[in-house]
Amino acid sequence: MRLGSIILFVALCSFTAYYIYEPIPEEIEERWKLMLTNSFFRSLSHLADLSELLGLKDYMGVMYFITVVEKVVPVSDEHVQVTEERFDGVEVVLYQPKQRGSDSELRRAVIYLHGGGWCLGSSRMSPYDLLARKTVTELDAVVLSVEYRLAPAHHFPVPYEDVYRVVKHFLQKGVLAQYSVDPGRIAVSGDSAGGNLAAAVSQQLRKEHGQQIQLKAQALIYPVLQALDLNTPSYQQNQDMPILPRTLMVRFWSEYFTSDKALFRAMMANTHNNPESSSLLKFVNWSAFLPETYHREYNYSAPAVVQGVGGEAVGMEGPSRSFADPRASPLLVPDAALRSLPKAYIMTCEYDVLRDDGIMYVTRLRAAGVEVTHEHYDTGFHGALMFTVWPTDFLIARRMTDNYIKWLKENL
């Protein structure tokens, strides 16, 4: 009996170690902590797949548990006043410094858009709450965190439109005066899918309002910027990396547009482009916009163009036009649309499927004459900035946060 228990214990330990261990690059700090963290995400993903297969709950419905477990009730503290409001019908969380200067003193402001692949996440999650408070106290700024509606319940363009409505509402003179915000010192920022929305909003404001309504800066943290080529070197190199493997990113993209699995399968094979979107592939040609060092052993091959995929399969008026829409894929705008955009901070991570999206945007913005600060983390992985809460607190997250805040302080 005792020998049997020992054998069972050893077998259980061996299985646990086998399940947790992943071939993560040696360069990444705190590798075992990342393996342990990712084992939770993988387990939840497996459970979500099973739940969807059995017809119990859809995949994103199960994955939303990540959002629920991290949610907090944003409350005021001795330094920060927190209120929950609605701007043009959209929920927002507003963070303001409690210590007021003179009535005439105006503050800078940051409009922050959370990540989560447009399907998960919330401005009320503890990492976002902590980041907002740090931004308020270190910059003496107002932070507006947007609780936009999520896919798959609300497909594109709903999340984008929610964000755009909030930004336009906030930028009204009367609203800025109400919160003592300097109209010339406002930034839009976001991570991952939030970075996508921030880039799209910056472009759309310039397109619709020119210099009349202008942001001073855009800060994009490992942003996702295009859906046309899902086989860039970073998608290939990091297809099995923790937190955001290629399969999950492709699922986020497809769910953003439609619940029809035909698009997901086509995107996984990188055969989702049709003649309409093919004309835009030149804007995501990584052989032209990625520095040689990031090409590695990969050779460029233009994505296949297939008649009907994303068109007849799922409705020509829907997804196929959506992933070619610059409001969904900001990297697809022509060069002329990039000129006069606000100065940019773009963070990228080496071990991230979205690395090349960010780097290509850096290249194109600079070529268009936009001032860009590109901060690349050679040991970084997707989502790292948000790992600031015990037990999943990482040293790299602190460095990322400090550098991000430092850039805002110097450029806003």
Q: Which residues are catalytic?
A: 192, 352, 382
3-class DSSP string for 118-148: CCCCCCCEHHHHHHHHHHHHHHCCEEEEEEC
Of 304, 332, 330, 308, the closest CA to residue 319 belongs to: 308
Question: What is the Cα 119 distance to its own chain's centre?
Answer: 11
Provide the phi-psi class of 296: left if phi over 0, else alpha when psi is between -120 and 50, else beta: left
Read off φ and ψ for residue 112, nearest 5 degrees: -110, 135
Residues 271 and 308: beta-carbon distance below 8 Å = no
Burial class (CB in 10 A: 0-12, 13-18, 19+), 228: buried
Residue 322 has φ and ψ, to the nearest 5°, of -70, -45
| Of 157, 154, 150, 142, nearest in space to 85 by CA | 142
